[in-house]
């Protein structure tokens, strides 16, 4: 744990200077006798105190510092620091006891303007009892809901503006995330009064979009580089980009090819057929919203057929990173086992 100043009647100004110097990060947490956070002192606070000839620690301490819970993920902390334009933040437990200071040596405050739309309104009927009281995207993977992991992945790449499409058990999602401020992000909700499929909720967007935006199903998780995906979309001058992934299927029989007279030409025993699948992750230009029907059931893959008919450029972006669709119970078990196997704190 970094040095911290215990503030009491015996604490001296020189104690603060000494500990601040030992920390070497320009910030000194100040706690009471019970280790509860009282505030912060920075190098700047010390300089001002000396210039003003006021060395009273009670007046030097910033008693209303920004702070976060120790349970906040690293990506969320980084995003929060970018948002408040700070390079450090104290982390506390649920009793406000100081745990440590999170500090960045360098920080890029250039938050990306692109919105991320997460389809979080699905019923999850294939998951049976698991989704009786909990919407599928809110099922726990480790200690956090699936959709929070999706958000964390985007946040780690600098995307902090989210729209969550909600329908089934919408209140569960909204009560957990609220407006997103406690996660250092911005969240708006697209509330489906009826089920609108994987794309229909896009017609509910009431924000003026001036940059490509992401759309992802709320039950898919991937470690892909979202910045690289966006860069590809722009380089290809695509109107819509679909993330695709190689898959294969072994035909359990011998496959025979014949000519028109039924002469056998070739025979392959249980061949493996390779193909690409849709991963449920997209980048779209704002103009595509003109082709989404208003308040009607609409599956997003249909959009690509419409755009193709309009001679718009549509591209596929191959995912070779980790990807899983949590559609069935065995998928839910697998994704939790994957996280445990990686030793991730989630």
**Total Cβ atoms within 10 A of residue 7:** 19
At 140, is the pLDDT very low, low, confident or very high (cuts 50, 70, 90)?
Answer: confident
Q: Please check whether the two domains, 5-103 and 113-236+280-311+318-342, share a CATH topology.
A: no
Sequence-distant (6+) residues with CB within 8 A of 151 are 116, 118, 162, 183, 185
The pLDDT score that the predictor gives to residue 72 is 85
Contact predicate 136/122, CB 8 Å: yes
When pLDDT is averaged across residues 275-292 and rounded to a whole number, the result is 96
The separation between CA 299 and the C-alpha centre of its own chain, rounded to angstroms, equals 23
The pLDDT score that the predictor gives to residue 345 is 40
DSSP for 69-97? ETTS-HHHHHHHHHHHT-SEEEEE-TT-B
Contact predicate 25/88, CB 8 Å: yes
Helix or strand (DSSP H, E) at 43: helix 43-51
Instruction: Please tell me which residue, 187 or 140, carries the higher pLDDT value.
Output: 187
- Residue 142, pLDDT above cutoff 70: yes
What superfamily in CATH does domain 113-236+280-311+318-342 come from? Spore Coat Polysaccharide Biosynthesis Protein SpsA; Chain A (3.90.550.10)
How do the domains of the chain map onto residue ranges?
5-103, 113-236+280-311+318-342
The pLDDT score that the predictor gives to residue 54 is 86
The pLDDT score that the predictor gives to residue 325 is 82
Burial 19-37 (b: 16+ CB within 10 A, else e): bbeebeeebbbbbeeebeb
At 193, is the pLDDT very low, low, confident or very high (cuts 50, 70, 90)?
Answer: confident
Instruction: Please tell me which residue, 153 or 237, carries the higher pLDDT value.
Output: 237
Task: Give domain 5-103's CATH number out of 3.40.50.300, 3.40.50.2000, 3.30.50.10, 3.10.580.10.
Answer: 3.10.580.10
Instruction: Please tell me which residue, 340 or 162, carries the higher pLDDT value.
Output: 162
- Residue 328, pLDDT above cutoff 80: no
At 264, is the pLDDT very low, low, confident or very high (cuts 50, 70, 90)?
Answer: very high
């Amino acid at each position: 744990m970094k040095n911290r100043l215990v503030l009491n009647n015996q604490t001296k100004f020189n104690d603060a200077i000494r500990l601040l110097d030992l920390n070497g990060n320009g910030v000194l947490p100040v706690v009471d006798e019970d280790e509860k956070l009282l505030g912060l002192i920075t190098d700047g606070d010390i300089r001002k105190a000396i210039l003003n000839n006021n060395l009273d620690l009670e007046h030097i301490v910033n008693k209303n510092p920004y702070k976060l819970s120790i349970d906040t993920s690293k990506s969320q902390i980084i995003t929060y620091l970018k948002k408040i334009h700070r390079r450090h933040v104290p982390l506390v437990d649920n009793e406000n006891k100081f745990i440590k200071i999170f500090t960045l040596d360098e920080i890029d405050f250039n938050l990306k303007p692109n919105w991320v739309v997460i389809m979080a309104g699905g019923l999850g009927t294939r998951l049976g009892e698991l989704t009786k009281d909990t919407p599928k995207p809110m099922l726990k993977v480790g200690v956090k809901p699936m959709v929070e992991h999706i958000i964390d992945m985007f946040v780690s790449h600098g995307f902090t503006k989210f729209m969550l499409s909600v329908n089934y058990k919408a209140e569960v999602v909204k009560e957990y995330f609220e407006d997103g401020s406690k996660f250092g992000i911005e969240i708006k909700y697209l509330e489906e009064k009826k089920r609108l499929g994987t794309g229909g909720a896009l017609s509910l967007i009431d924000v003026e979009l001036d940059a490509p935006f992401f759309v992802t199903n709320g039950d898919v998780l991937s470690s892909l580089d979202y910045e690289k995906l966006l860069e590809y979309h722009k380089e290809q001058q695509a109107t819509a980009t679909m993330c695709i992934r190689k898959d294969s299927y072994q035909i359990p029989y011998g496959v025979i090819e014949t000519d028109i007279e039924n002469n056998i030409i070739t025979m392959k025993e249980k061949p493996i057929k390779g193909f690409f699948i849709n991963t449920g992750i997209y980048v779209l230009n704002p103009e595509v919203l003109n082709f989404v029907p208003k308040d009607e059931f609409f599956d997003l893959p249909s959009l690509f057929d419409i755009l193709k008919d309009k001679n718009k450029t549509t591209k596929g972006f191959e995912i070779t990173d980790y990807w899983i669709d949590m559609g069935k119970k065995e998928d839910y078990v697998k994704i939790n086992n994957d996280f445990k196997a990686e030793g991730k704190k989630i």
